[in-house]
Chains A and B, each alone.
Chain A
Amino acid sequence: MKILENKAICIVLALALVIAGFIIGGCRSLNSLYSSKVEKVFMTGEDGDGICIENDLAERETAAVNLCTIASKYDGTKKQADGVREAAAELSSASSVADKLEANKNLDTAVESLFNDLLGQQLSASDEKYARSLYTDFNSRNDTISHDPYNRYAAQYNEIIAGFPASLLPVKEAVIFY
């Protein structure tokens, strides 16, 4: 091809290939780092033992749904219970960490509203005991999430991608979960 006989064009093409290689290779490498280190900790735990944020979120969903079961016995809480079920379903179907974070916050708001409503009802002694226990479990999971090593890994990853030359690449930051 005659065009390739032009030295300037060849230099430009070579540079373009190098840059493309850098971008593609760099992005793949960082995405692989994210999946293998950061996301894995979120989904399966630092030791791969299943003690992780994903599990904590599942436990929160369960506690929320069980709270709805108690609420279903009392007429004045139907609206809030529906709101909780909706938020739990949204959390269950969320796929990315960012979506899960958002859905988790929505579930927080919905459950708090339902719990406060329940306390305003004439609950039986056992229902009150169950409701308080479930609410405590629900909230304590947020505590464990805040201490989960995932956030440390996410912060480290963000430090890496903020440094040169990774900062030149179009790579998304890891979401800090709370």
Chain B
Amino acid sequence: MKKILKIWALLVMIISMAVPTAFAGIPEKSQSFYVADYANVISQETENYIVEKNGQLENLCGGQIVVVAVDFLDGMDIEDYAYKVFKEWQIGSAEKNNGVLLLLAIGEDNYWCIQGKGLESEISSGEIDDMLWEYLEEDFASADYDAGVRKFFDKMFVAVSEVYSEGDVTETKSADTGSVLRIILLLIKILVVVIIIVVIIKGTRKNRYDTGGTAERRTDAGRTNRPSARSVIMPRPSRTRSRGTYRTTRPTSGSSSGRTSVSRPSGRGGGGISRGGGAGRRGR
């Protein structure tokens, strides 16, 4: 009896391993979700960059821009393949259907980009075609896939962000990230110096008061005449102050989860759907 059970268990295991997934040939989601480089053409740096940017985009609007690189399409049409990947992975938010998928088929010398249902009217297939031509085609043709993906991703990131931003969102190249950080660090240093100076001044004033003065200032009325310590030390930022290049680091007013400004990508599909369409390599 035990032998029979063991044989059955082995058979079941073998059969379950042989059973195809829902869509034959569709790659599994990668660990990061946002980049699935099965063709080994995208650098780790670019992968990390895409993951980081997707975190910002998700915080802004739930949007996701996923890049998949495979060697071959297993005999499928690239549009159908892209559609099935999108459907299986559920890219973008379920509420806004604002996902984008860039699929590279390296061995087939082809690519395709498909947008979610909610972006069809904002980013048409024609516009995607223009973006692919301008930002991806040249590098793809010269087999510099990493550079092409990076450029196209940046452009698409801006395009999707603009759909949801109220103000202007300007393109930044990866080299600008460093300068933004430097400015922020400088501002923090200035703020710390200001705080120290104010604390010193207040300390000096306190010492002066303690050595003599009227009782008046100790009443509630007196207190209210004094400026609040909080408003001196921590001035409230003006609403009209520049927010920097991307508004994506601030949570939107509609955000219900009260996220902090640190972008943490979800690492999974948001339930978005696409109706197909999109655009791909010309002259096919």
Contacts and interface: CB of A to CB of B under 8 A. Distances in A.
Chief secondary structure at chain A's binding surface: helix
- Chain A's interface size range is 10 to 19
B282 A143 contact: no
Interface string A118-154: 0000000000010011101101110110111000000
Nearest to B83: A147
Contacts, number: 45
A161 B133 CA distance: 48
Contact of B277 (A133, A134, A140): A140
Chain B contact residues, majority secondary structure:
helix
Nearest to B128: A136
A51 interface: yes
B126 A147 contact: no
Given A51-B117, A129-B130, A143-B79, A136 B275 contact: no
Interface string B120-134: 100011111110010
A140 B115 CA distance: 11
30 contacts: A51-B117, A51-B275, A129-B130, A132-B126, A132-B133, A132-B282, A133-B124, A133-B126, A133-B129, A133-B130, A136-B126, A136-B129, A136-B279, A139-B125, A140-B125, A140-B126, A140-B276, A140-B277, A140-B278, A140-B279, A141-B277, A143-B83, A143-B275, A143-B276, A143-B278, A144-B120, A144-B276, A146-B276, A147-B83, A147-B275
Interface of B: 79, 83, 117, 120, 124-130, 133, 275-279, 282
